[in-house]
A = this chain, B = another copy of it.
Amino acid sequence: MNELTIHLEPKSRTPMYEQIYLYIKKEIKEGKLATKSRLPSARSLASYLGVSRTTVDMAYMQLVSEGYIVSEPARGYFVAEISGLYHLDHLPKPAVPSKNKAKEEKPLVDFSPRGVDLRYFPYSTWRKLSKEILNLENGSLFKHGHPQGDSALRGTIASYLFESRGVYCEADQIVLGAGQEYLLLLLSQILNEKNGQAYRRIAMENPTYPQAYRVLRETGMEVAFVPMDARGMQAAELEKQPVNLAYVMPSHQFPTGIIMPISRRMELLAWADQAPERYLIEDDYDSEFRYVGKPIPALQGTGSHDKVIYFGTFSKSIAPAIRMAYMVLPRELLEIYQSKLGFYASTVSGLDQKLVNAFLEGGYYERHLNKMRAVYKAKHETLLNSLREQNLPVQILGERGGLHILLRMKNGMSESEAIACALQKGVRVYPISDYCMENQAVPWESTILLGYAALSETEIRKGVALLAEALK
């Protein structure tokens, strides 16, 4: 007891029990209270300190639960053996990361292919819907949701996909996820559960969507690149590969912009039909934005829809921060998912799901798409017209839809020269080689990519004028 000369401060904001606890902990850590030495009984310490018995009990319980002391029935409390050091007290407060990082100098016009135009985001609708949803004070909004996502939303998506994309599915085949990358991870596990051996390799286009390529590589899959011609992935070349999976973007290949005609689609579907293990993964990432006529129906609804795994997303068509993509599973894969992988909780925000469902059901999405199609179409025309007016020494490719185009150099400049010259004039354009995986696809050597979705028409005209100077 003589060792415990605790100085308590009754007026401190720290509760009495905590002062006792902190003091004893410090003594133990500094070795002043030796291992196995006995502490005063709670009753005697309480009387000595002039505090209630409960106060000392609480301090001792805390010390016991943190392992500093042990209670031996009928014998009392003893200092426990603690090895090593206890760092916490010596730690500095975490530093706030510096906000003054040197920024790269921003170009005047950035033709990034990643952006979307958020100036037309339906903020007031979003506010109205979120208010309505939160006013319902519906406990279900914050509960564990269905692993595949809200069933009302899946029903709405199924109808939308049927009407707008010709996708044939029922709501229970849809799995929502926080982004296409997560869904690809999930799909790779589903396929692995079906037959690990059969899905070690996958065929892809080249150039392709790098995120999908990297995710698939991370899951351990080997990627076989199948050459494309003007109609997309060549079915005859696909036949030569020992694969059971092919990842294609028939509506608007990224980044080439190739739209696969029905004949080639039929060939791919025929390939898939040849063996029970074969599947096509259809990435329909931006089919909403096509400016001439109706979009081509999805591959999934065209052939045997039990051979196509369909992927879509709201990232481009609503906003990137709404982390919501979906995949449509053929029945056989759905059963495997539900029986083996149903334990994965949904990754999609409950509030966002209700918002998107209200947005679709209320007809706002259709209106928003029509508006954005008109906005993007005008920008697309401005870009093409400016390129023609300025008479750039380039061939325009992939200009039939989507939110970017390709320019193939006709002035002898290499891709990197073109990009460097453009940057000197204050214009950022993007190399197609970023999308050519594993250094293949040499024919694309001298081609640059221009996204225009996030730019105004004035910026587009200015950017093209600067680019014309750069490429002279």
Contacts and interface: CB of A to CB of B under 8 A. Distances in A.
A82 B263 contact: yes
Contacts of A189: 218
B119 A139 contact: yes
A151 interface: yes
B351 A97 contact: no
A362 interface: no
Contacts of A304: 87
A144 B316 CA distance: 10
Interface in A302-323: 302-305, 319-323
Interface residues of A, number: 106
A107 interface: no
B211 A96 contact: no
A194 interface: no
A274 interface: no
A468 to B, nearest CB: 29
A94 interface: yes
A442 interface: no
A141 interface: yes
B166 A143 contact: no
Interface stretch (A4-12, A58-66, A387-395, A414-422): A58-66
Given A142-B321, A143-B321, A171 B97 contact: yes
Contacts of A38: none
A277 interface: no
B320 A349 contact: no
A31 B404 CA distance: 37
Interface string A159-190: 10010001011111000001101100100010
A141 B118 CA distance: 10
Contacts of A398: none
A312 B141 CA distance: 22
A344 B181 contact: yes
Nearest to A139: B118
A134 B139 contact: no
Nearest to A161: B94
A68 interface: yes
A428 interface: no
Copies of this chain in the oligomer = 2
A472 interface: no
Interface stretch (A221-229, A289-297, A371-379, A444-452): A289-297
A24 to B, nearest CB: 13
Contacts of A1: none
A165 B17 CA distance: 19
Contact of A142 (B131, B322, B343): B322
A345 B162 CA distance: 28
Contacts of A91: 162, 168, 301
Interface string A83-100: 111111001011111000
A267 interface: yes
Contacts of A58: 292-293
A79 B52 CA distance: 96
A317 B213 CA distance: 37
Given A82-B266, A83-B266, A114-B144, A159 B94 contact: yes
Nearest to A454: B143
A2 interface: no
Given A141-B321, A301-B87, A210 B343 contact: yes
A106 to B, nearest CB: 16
Contact of A267 (B83, B137, B218): B83
15 contacts: A65-B259, A80-B262, A82-B266, A83-B263, A83-B267, A83-B270, A97-B155, A121-B142, A130-B130, A131-B131, A143-B320, A145-B321, A320-B345, A323-B349, A351-B351
Interface of A: 17-18, 21, 58, 61-62, 65-68, 80-88, 91, 93-97, 114, 118-119, 121, 123, 126-127, 130-131, 134-135, 137, 139, 141-145, 151, 155, 158-159, 162, 166, 168-172, 178-179, 181-182, 185, 189, 192, 210-211, 214-215, 218, 220, 231, 259-267, 269-270, 292-294, 296-297, 301-305, 319-323, 341, 343-352, 400
Given A81-B263, A84-B270, A94-B162, 5 more contacts: A97-B170, A142-B319, A142-B321, A319-B350, A323-B347
